Amino acid sequence: MTKRRVAILISGRGSNMAALIQAANAPDFPAEIVLVMSNIAGAGGLESARAAGIETATIESKPFGRDREAFERAMQDELLKHKIDLVCLAGFLRLLTPWFVQQWDGRMINIHPALLPSYRGLHTHERALADGVKIHGATVHFVIPDVDAGPIIVQGAVTVHDNDTAETLGARVLQVEHRIYPQALRMVASGQASIHGGVCKSTTATASEKTLISPSF
Ligand code: GAR
């Protein structure tokens, strides 16, 4: 099995990155993490990537100011240098231009802390609580030029408790993120997930028949 070469792009602590690195340690995992790249110098995740023996790169976005494409060209050079096949965005907090997204069309995935298409954007847990939704969760999707949109690969849901705060709810959603992101990467890297008519279908994964009802009765 030829493993797909993956770069993870981060801006912060990198807990999803760590979950991907750990999953990719399994011999049968169809991808290897060869590069972790950050747009923020000193992002916490860089240290843990290095500790796991993974090469890191920092390309700060700030010096490029409003020239987003110049920043992305620098990232692209680094990705090509490492012969990257797939890009995983894991808490990478920069908007990407259509040019960059096009370079990685069908080969770049992102995790978002909400059940898309609900709650695109920031402060997803606060907004879910304010709306009083009873089920919330996380989504891994292919990246398209629109932000927090694109064919959905995997979703994971949690029940919302009456006494939840954004922190307690976010912590439960994060645990789900750490389960679904490795699974989504496995599906994409192995070719089990692909886009047909704008939506993602998977060949081998079977949907669980479990029903999640909240509040339960
Ligand atoms: C994660 O919760 C991820 O879903 C979110 O940022 C966090 C990064 O945490 N991403 C977004 O909000 C993107 N729209 P991590 O650095 O510990 O993985």
CA of 112 to the centre of ligand 1 (A): 6
| Ligand 1 proximity of 125 Cβ (cutoff 6 Å) | no
The CA-atom distances, in angstroms, between 41 and each of 20, 29, 63, 70 are: 21, 30, 12, 18
Superfamily covering domain 1-104: Formyl transferase, N-terminal domain (3.40.50.170)
Q: Where are the chain's structural domains?
A: 1-104, 112-204
Is the shortest distance between the CB of 15 and ligand 1 below 6 Å? yes
Q: Enumerate residues 6+ apart whose C-beta is below 8 A from 73.
A: none
- Mean per-residue pLDDT pooled into runs of 10, the chain (217 residues): 96 98 98 98 96 97 93 98 98 96 98 98 98 98 98 98 98 98 98 95 79 93
Query: Is 170's C-beta closer than 6 angstroms to any atom of ligand 1?
Result: no
Taking the centre of ligand 1 as the mean of its atom positions, its distance from the CA of residue 90, in whole angstroms, is: 6
Domain spanning 112-204, CATH class: alpha beta
Residue positions annotated with a catalytic role: 112
Between the CA of residue 136 and those of 14, 18, 46, 150, 179, what are the distances in Å?
A: 22, 23, 29, 19, 15
Token pair recorded at residue 196:
């047909």
For strands 86-89 and 4-10, give the pairing: parallel
Binding residues: 14-16, 68, 93-96, 110
Give the C-alpha separation, 208 to 210, whole Å: 5
**Domains 1-104 and 112-204 agree in fold:** yes
CA angle (143 as vertex; 86, 155 as ends), nearest 5? 95
- Closest approach atom of ligand 1 to CA 93: 13
Measured by CA distance, the residue closest to atom 6 of ligand 1 is 91
Residue from 2, 4, 59 nearest 185 by CA: 4
119 Rama sector, left if φ>0, alpha if ψ -120 to 50, beta otherwise: left
pLDDT of residue 209: 78
| Ligand 1 pocket residue status of 90, Cβ below 6 Å | yes
Q: Which pair of tokens denotes residue 217?
A: 């009765």
Predicted TM-score (pTM) of the model is 0.97
Helices 15-24, 166-189: crossing angle, 10 deg rounding: 30
